[in-house]
Amino acid sequence: MGLLLWLLVLCPACTILPKILILDDPLSQEEHLTLAMIYENEGKLDLAIREYELAPSIPFAAYALGNVYFLQGDYKKAETQYRRAIRMDGLPEAYSNLSFLLVTQGKDLEDAYEYALKAVEEAIKRDLDDNLIRNFKANLNLAETALIYRNKGYEH
Q: List, in order of start, the domains of the chain with CATH numbers.
A: 28-89 (1.25.40.10), 90-151 (no CATH)
In one letter, which amino acid is 118? K
Q: What integer pLDDT is reported at residue 5 of this predicted model?
A: 43
Percentage with pLDDT > 90 across the chain: 79
Q: What integer pLDDT is reported at residue 62 of this predicted model?
A: 98
Model confidence at 2: pLDDT above 80: no
Direct distance between the N- and C-terminal alpha carbons of the chain, in angstroms, rounded to an integer:
74
Using only C-alpha atoms, what is the Rg of the chain? 23
Dist CA 27 CA 54 (whole Å):
9
Q: What integer pLDDT is reported at residue 24 of this predicted model?
A: 84
pLDDT in tens, 49-99: 999 999 999 999 999 999 999 999 999 999 999 999 999 999 999 999 999
Model confidence at 1: pLDDT above 90: no
Model confidence at 105: pLDDT above 60: yes
**Hey, how many other C-beta atoms are within 10 angstroms of the C-beta on 9?**
9
The pTM (predicted TM-score) of the whole model is 0.82
List CB contacts of 11: < 8 A, sequence separation 6 or more: none
